[in-house]
Structure formats: C-alpha cells, structure tokens
C-alpha cells in the first residue's frame, strides 16, 4: 500500500508549530503540533478533549465559521488537525489558531458540549490541563508567519 502523506513527514526533526499538512481540492489541512514527537510526553486525554471542544467551538463561532470543516486530535496525541476551506488565507488560518489558543488560555467558564447527551465521553475533560496546554502553545504560535507553515527538512 502507498504510504500516506502524514507518515512521510520526518517526525525526528518536527518542532512545535503550525504546518500546512496537505491540500485536497478546496480543503487545507493544518497540522497544529503541540509536542515534539517521540521526545516529549504526549498530551493527556482530558486536556486534549477539552481543547478540542473549546477550539472547535471558538472556530465555529469566528468570522470564518462557514469555512471551518474540522478540528480534531491526532491519534499520537502530539497535536491536532485543523481543516479549512482554501478561501481562508494562510494569514487568516494562523490568526484563527492563535486567537483560539488565546481564548482557551484565558477560559474559565463551563466547557461547551459537556453533557451525556452532547458528548460521547463527557466525563473525560480537564479544563486546567487545557488552559496550561493553550498557554504553552500560544507562546509558540503568537508570532507565526505564513513562511513558517512549511515542514522542516534535514
């Protein structure tokens, strides 16, 4: 079988940040890398789950809400994928991401979508962990530029 694109990225040299993972027609997938793969402990499930709820809610309420396709965790627990229509510029995609982490790092209210009726694992959330993760990631991406969206190579 053909190796998929995400397995062709050299994870041994991948720093934290935002990268353009792939472009499929009018959909751009951004790799939001929050951990150094295979070098740092992965994120805890509860914190990741809460980031997913807060980031997705933020993005689907921003001015580009109708261009947001998906925000969700990587199975390796080192980051998230953020899918947007290609009508959202790289600068705008970065701004949404930075603003979402700013929103999460300052969040102190009820987590949206956290009830048995709304969530498939509603008991597995960690707001304090999500805030801590978002504070760290905000510092990484707050000055991100479009030219930085390219994966590093050796």
DSSP letters along 92-145, please? HHHHHHHHHHHHHHT--SPPTT-STTT-TTTT---HHHHHHHHHHHHHHHTT--
SS3 at position 10: coil
Mean pLDDT of 86-108: 98
Could you tell me which residues come within 8 angstroms of residue 69 by beta carbon, excluding any fewer than 6 positions away? 27, 83, 84, 85
SS3 at position 45: helix
Query: pLDDT of 30-62, one tens digit each?
Result: 999 999 999 999 999 999 999 999 999 999 999
Q: Is residue 5 predicted with pLDDT exceeding 80?
A: no
Which pLDDT value is given to residue 69?
98
Model pTM? 0.95
Query: pLDDT of 99-115, one tens digit each?
Result: 999 999 999 999 999 99
Which pLDDT value is given to residue 8?
82
Q: Is residue 9 predicted with pLDDT exceeding 90?
A: no
Structural contact between residues 53 and 6, judged by C-beta atoms closer than 8 angstroms: no
Weakest mean pLDDT among 4-13, 14-23, 38-47, 99-108: 4-13
């Amino acid at each position: 079988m053909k190796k998929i694109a995400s397995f062709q990225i050299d994870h041994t040299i991948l720093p934290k940040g935002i990268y353009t993972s792939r472009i499929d027609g009018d959909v751009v997938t951004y790799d939001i890398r929050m951990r150094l793969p295979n070098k740092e402990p992965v994120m805890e499930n509860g914190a990741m789950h809460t980031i997913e709820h807060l980031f997705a809610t933020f993005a689907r309420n921003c001015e580009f809400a109708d261009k947001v396709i998906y925000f969700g965790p990587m199975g390796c627990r080192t980051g998230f994928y953020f899918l947007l229509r290609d009508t959202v510029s790289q600068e705008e995609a970065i701004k949404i991401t930075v603003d979402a982490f700013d929103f999460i790092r300052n969040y102190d209210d009820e987590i949206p979508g956290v009830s048995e009726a709304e969530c498939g694992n509603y008991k597995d959330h960690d707001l304090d962990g999500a805030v801590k993760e978002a504070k760290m990631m905000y510092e990484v991406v707050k000055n991100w530029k479009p030219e930085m969206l390219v994966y590093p190579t050796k």
